[in-house]
Amino acid sequence: MQSAHPTFGRRVLRFVSYDSTERQIVAETIAEFGFRASFAPFQWIATMTGITVFAFDDPFFLLVDPAIAMTDFRTERDSMGEVRVPQNAYYGAQTQRAVENFPVSGWQLPPSMIAAMGRVKLACGIANRDLGKLTGSGKNPLSDGQVESMLSAAKEVAEGQLADQFPVDVFQTGSGTSSNMNINEVLSNRAIEIDGGDRMAEEKSIHPNDHINMGQSTNDTFPTAIHVAAAYEIENRLLPALRRMHESLTEKAQAWDKIIKIGRTHLMDATPLRLGQEFGGFARQIELSIARAEAARDAVLELPVGGTAVGSGINTHPEFGARVAASLSEQTGIAFIEAVNHFEGNANRDGLVDSHGGLKCVAQTLLGLANNIRWLGSGPRCGFYEVKLPTRQPGSSIMPGKVNPVMCESLMQVAARVIGNDTCMTVSGGCGGNFQLNIMMPVMAHTILESIELLAGGVTAFIDFCLDGMEPNEEACEASVEQSLSMCTSLNPLIGYEQAAALAKEAFKSGQTIRELCKEKGILADDVLTEALDPWKMTEPQA
């Protein structure tokens, strides 16, 4: 009897061609595929891009076509021994170990994080160059040309090149050491290549630890890269999207300010307001969201770099942290500073939790706004239909002609995901380590950058495909005003709350409007009643 095996999406797997007679591996490769697997009692079968793979009780995968496994390898060494690495990979032994150790999710760190790591390595290289550390005394000092090659390699990664050389799963060592060594190895080999050397050579003339990682620890540079990535993405992706949304809502508030409609508190009929006022309220919500996003950016401006292993700054120059922060500020245009206290900077990820808290607040604002616009567009005949939403796609597989508020629903789902992500950030920040180090940083990096990307993308799509094309339905707005029983609210100063409430109840039972019932009963003179029930006057304070 078969049971469902989860769909893993994309995973890095080790494929082995196994000679059962000789009981030895004849070929192997490591590759990334998307697959869906099913489980049976003695084997599982996965079909991956047309390749069928069988896994038996032994730890090997047997390929139907062994020729597929004939990928070339090179042998790399680290402090634990030899490792076989794909021949053309820029990464080395430690990255390969991580690939094999963490076949968990198929999720790699996002490109924005890899680019930020490149920026941090570039800034560190510049600081070490300017301090004379790379070309001075010590093990294997570099030439000026080698230093420039190292910086050029870091620039390439910062610009998004070599993105396919970072295969380590998000769910790895909690400090991010695997990813830090991944970039150290990539930059080492690429710098050697730029310098005209042999990147395949066993001895690294530009060494991943001695040169690329000089004056650094994963414990200070990895959280620095998270801060840089988060601040950069908020500044360059989220804030522009929110500012566009604010501009669009403000334009609609001004254009629609002469359209009167009924308010709805508790989803029940309330007093009138102008459609422009309603959208002006939405615009103010986004204005506040912009301020919260700016605060989220500012929460991560302090950088731990310079604290090295435990915050003491062992093996680095006293000016290193400040110089790196200044270089990162120059690269990004964002005012990064060295951590005020490196022991706090290394140990705690409170800034990231604080930053994501602001993003969560932005998300809940967007959730409410999208939901309100969804309600305003409900109908077209049996709902409110006070705004006409752009038609984007057929809405039902069974109901012809039905069109749904899909962009509102998309943004609401984005908001829900970000709100959920905040729990991950809170737990990871508060429970994710002891003493001098947080050990849940890779998932924090993935989570906060996912939230920023989702918010920026969701808001942009909502503007482009819903908000900008939205139109008011003036007829529907104005038709409901006279019917509202809450019109009697304006009579309170003239006849008192109790009598006004009695009129509302009677009007509801009789099906009359408040105006009709007042005229029938002769409660007020016609001119007084007309002025009192003027809906326009109800939309502003009256002296």
Of the three residues 214, 239, 272, the one that is the final residue of a domain is 214
The string over 140-165, giving b where at least 16 C-beta atoms fall within 10 Å of a residue's C-beta and e elsewhere, is eebeeebbbbbbbbbbbbbeeebeeb
Residues 149 and 117 in one domain: yes
Structural domain total, the chain? 4
Residues 193 and 104 in one domain: yes
**Domain assignment present for 78:** no
Residues 163 and 281 in one domain: no
**Domain assignment present for 337:** yes
Of the three residues 476, 501, 525, the one that is the final residue of a domain is 476
Instruction: Identify the active-site residue in 3, 79, 137, 266.
Output: 266
Residues 411 and 311 in one domain: yes
Residue at token pair 């003491």: 312
**Domain assignment present for 85:** no
Element (H, E) at 199: none
Residues 468 and 347 in one domain: yes
DSSP sequence for 365-404: HHHHHHHHHHHHT--SSSS---EEPPP-SB--SSSTT-B-
DSSP sequence for 47-104: EETTEEEEE-SSS-EEESSGGGG---EEEEEETTEEEEEETT-S--HHHHHHHHH--S
| AA letter at 314 | I
396 is catalytic: yes
Task: State the Cα angle at 15 between 9 and 16, rounded to 5°.
Answer: 160
Q: What is the rounded distance in angstroms from the CA atom of residue 218 to the CA atom of residue 446?
A: 17
Residues 47 and 121 in one domain: no
Residues 356 and 435 in one domain: yes
Task: Tell me the three state secondary structure of residue 167.
Answer: coil
Cis peptide before 405 (omega within 30 of 0): no
Residues 341 and 359 in one domain: yes
Instruction: Identify the active-site residue in 396, 428, 484, 510.
Output: 396
Residues 368 and 506 in one domain: no
**Domain assignment present for 311:** yes
Name every residue whose Cβ is closer than 8 Å to that of residue 236 and which is 6 or more positions away in sequence: none
Residues 315 and 293 in one domain: yes
**pTM summary value:** 0.87
What pLDDT, on the 0 to 100 scale, is given for residue 526?
95
CATH assignment of the domain containing 193? 1.10.275.10
CATH assignment of the domain containing 342? 1.20.200.10
Summarised one tens digit per residue, pLDDT across range 14-63 is: 444 545 555 554 555 444 444 333 333 323 333 333 333 444 334 334 33
Q: What average pLDDT values come out for the chain (543 residues) when binned by 10 residues? A: 36 47 51 38 33 39 39 85 93 95 95 99 98 87 97 99 96 98 98 96 94 98 99 99 99 98 96 98 99 99 98 97 99 98 97 98 99 98 96 92 96 99 97 92 99 99 98 95 94 96 96 95 95 95 87
**Domain assignment present for 84:** no
Show binding-site residues.
175-177, 207-210, 217-219, 265, 397, 402-404
Of the three residues 214, 229, 255, the one that is the final residue of a domain is 214
Q: What is the rounded distance in angstroms from the CA atom of residue 299 to the CA atom of residue 335?
A: 11
- Which residues constitute the domain of residue 126? 93-214
Show binding-site residues for substrate.
175-177, 207-210, 217-219, 265, 397, 402-404
**Domain assignment present for 81:** no
Do the beta carbons of residue 422 and residue 474 sit within 8 Å? no
Residues 307 and 437 in one domain: yes
**Domain assignment present for 87:** no
Residues 421 and 495 in one domain: no
End-to-end C-alpha distance for the chain, whole angstroms: 79
**Domain assignment present for 192:** yes
